[in-house]
Amino acid sequence: MASVDTIRVAVHGAAGRVGLEVVRAVSDAPDMELVGAFDRLPPKEAPPLPKGVPYYTDSHRGLRSCRADVVVDFSVASASLAMAPLVLGAGARPVIGTTGISDDQLAYLDGLCHEHHLGGFYAPNFTVGAVLLVKLAAMAAPFFDYVEVVEEHHETKIDAPSGTALAIAKAVHDAHPDQFQHTMPEKEPLPGTRGGEYEGIGIHSSRMPGRMAHHQVTFGAPGQTLILRHDTINRECYMPGVLLAVRKVRGLEGLTVGLDKLLEI
């Protein structure tokens, strides 16, 4: 039987690869109770859930029934944005890990949280190592004038560049407000070879089987390079960050963005 301090958690996007990991992690957490799973797949096609956990395709009905304190969302951006007002309207706090959400959309989510006087949390990456990569890249940025970001993911990732790659680029730019040097070739037989560009920061994306998530930041200066790299081996690495956010979100105001805020780094 759950204690009065047990956090009631539902998972949106529960049939996805990260969603399934969240289901397992929440089920195993001693201070949490998995009270519902949401996805668009018909129940017969959905992966099996722990015994007694209800599965919903109707978000309105499911939120009324499961009475969650926190809803963890690893679906897709459009579904997360549609789910958020329902979650907050039901008195639950959203913890969102879906990528591809813009700054304007984050402002919208923050407004919803304030409107309902409930905290919410969003992170483009819940891996502690990736958060440290962003911080280390920002530390290095003032000392270099050239930088390139390379990210590689599995072939089914729907957005490019990744939210983490954009977070790296923004952190690096904030720490080095002047435009980075981004040279272009005199000839470009294949257009677009130099990749995307954000404030002089080159960003390159790769999508193929055999990769899960890889981010590398390379700084260049005369006679030297500095390379910072993080590899995600499996989706289990997200779970400590997700569980930390579930435990902390009830003490937040508005929408808090970034796992570094919870880690206090």
Residues serving a catalytic function are: 153, 157
Residue 51 sits at φ, ψ, to 5 deg, of -55, 130
Q: Sheet harboring 213-221: ordered strands across?
A: 196-198, 201-207, 146-153, 213-221, 224-232
Pairing of strands 196-198, 201-207: antiparallel
